[in-house]
């Protein structure tokens, strides 16, 4: 199986590049942010809890996120060629648990695609999307919190994965297709 983590700050292009990787390799997409936004839209209990964190730009607690991951993995198709984890893991305990869960499925992580984009560009992309789509956490106050949370809690994972030789650093600034070419090259060189 080809199992990839799409890693990067809010607005770095994880969702955009995931779609393109899925088209190329036929993988299954697990975007924890999308799962949570769907629950919010449907007004479920989980959605109400998720909304209280997402609206502030905070992370959902690990134990809840890990239940969601296990639930999502249950619905994998039988002939699954691999999974893209988009926005997961975001903490060291999530990363440790992901390794365990993949082992239970008799598979492992192939690599981590790390999209690196300067902060000014991240803010500009999210503000633009906020205006165009109304995504609720794309307002300046929440964006700045999301970036702080990223630096404090998620960025340390880069070193974690570098230590395992799994991190593929990608320049995430510029043309979407050119970035995708770099992603494909990194995956195929792995
Ligand atoms: P999540 O949904 O994962 O959001 P995020 O990490 O904040 O990232 P985004 O979805 O905003 O950006 P992206 O990197 O996918 O970029 P995109 O392709 O959309 O998480 C949301 C919240 O859910 C979290 O804050 C947290 O509360 C909670 N959560 C989720 N997972 C969790 C977990 N594991 N643990 C705990 N809590 C969790 O691109 C962004 C914009 O830029 C788009 O408009 C796009 O069109 C544009 N764009 C993309 N590429 C380019 C380019 N090359 N040039 C110009 N524009 C571009
Ligand atoms: Mg996304």
Q: Which H/E stretch holds residue 1?
A: none
**Among 81, 129, 148, 185, the one annotated catalytic:** 129
Whether 37 is catalytic: no
Check residue 78 and give its pLDDT. Answer: 86
Cβ atoms 64, 57 nearer than 8 A? no
Whether 129 is catalytic: yes
| 58-73 per-position pLDDT tens digit | 999 999 999 999 999 9
In testing the pocket of ligand 1, which one of 10, 98, 146 has its CB within 8 Å of the most ligand atoms? 10
Question: For strand 83-86 and strand 167-171, is the pairing parallel, antiparallel, or unpaired?
Answer: unpaired
Check residue 7 and give its pLDDT. Answer: 98
Q: Which residues line ligand 1 (CB under 6 A)?
A: 8, 10-16, 32-33, 36, 53-54, 57-60, 65, 87-88, 90, 94, 125-126, 129, 146, 176, 179
Positive or negative: CA dihedral 15, 51, 35, 30: positive
User: Measured between alpha carbons, how far is 17 from 40 in angstroms, rounded to an integer?
Assistant: 24
Cα 12 to averaged position of ligand 2 atoms, centre (Å): 8
Q: Which one of the ligands is nearest to 14 CA? A: 1
State the greatest distance between any 2 C-alpha atoms of the chain, in Å, as a whole number: 43
CA-wise closest residue to 114 among 5, 26, 1, 2:
5
Supply the pTM of this predicted model.
0.97
| 58 contact partners, CB below 8 Å, separation of at least 6 | 145, 149
Q: What is the CA radius of gyration of the chain?
A: 16
Q: In 10 A of CB 97, how many CB atoms?
A: 19
| 111 contact partners, CB below 8 Å, separation of at least 6 | 4, 5, 166, 167, 168, 186, 187, 190
Mean pLDDT, consecutive 10-residue stretches, the chain (190 aa), reads 97 98 96 97 97 98 96 91 97 97 95 98 98 97 98 98 98 98 96
In testing the pocket of ligand 1, which one of 16, 49, 62, 133 has its CB within 8 Å of the most ligand atoms? 16
Atom of ligand 1 nearest to the CA of 89: 34
**Among 20, 38, 135, 158, the one annotated catalytic:** 135
| 121-138 per-position pLDDT tens digit | 999 999 999 999 999 999
Cβ atoms 161, 112 nearer than 8 A? yes
Check residue 73 and give its pLDDT. Answer: 94
Check residue 129 and give its pLDDT. Answer: 98
Q: Cis omega (within 30 of 0) on the bond before 123?
A: no
Cβ atoms 30, 66 nearer than 8 A? no
Check residue 181 and give its pLDDT. Answer: 98
Cβ atoms 157, 90 nearer than 8 A? yes
């Amino acid at each position: 199986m080809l199992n990839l983590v799409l890693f990067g700050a809010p607005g770095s292009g994880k969702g955009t590049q995931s779609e393109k990787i899925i088209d190329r390799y036929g993988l299954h997409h697990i975007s924890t942010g999308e799962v949570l936004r769907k629950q919010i839209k449907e007004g479920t209990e989980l959605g109400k809890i998720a909304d209280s964190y997402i609206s502030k730009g905070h992370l959902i607690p690990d134990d809840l996120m890990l239940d969601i991951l296990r639930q999502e993995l249950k619905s994998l198709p039988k002939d699954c060629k691999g999974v893209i984890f988009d926005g997961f893991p975001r903490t060291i305990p999530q990363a440790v648990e992901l390794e365990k869960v993949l082992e239970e499925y008799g598979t492992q992580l192939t690599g981590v695609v790390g999209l690196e984009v300067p902060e000014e560009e991240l803010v500009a992309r999210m503000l633009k999307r906020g205006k165009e789509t109304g995504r609720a956490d794309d307002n300046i106050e929440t964006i700045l919190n999301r970036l702080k949370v990223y630096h404090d809690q998620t960025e340390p994972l880069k070193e974690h994965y570098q230590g395992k030789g799994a991190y593929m650093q990608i320049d995430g600034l510029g043309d979407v297709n050119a970035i995708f070419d770099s992603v494909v090259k990194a995956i195929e060189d792995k």
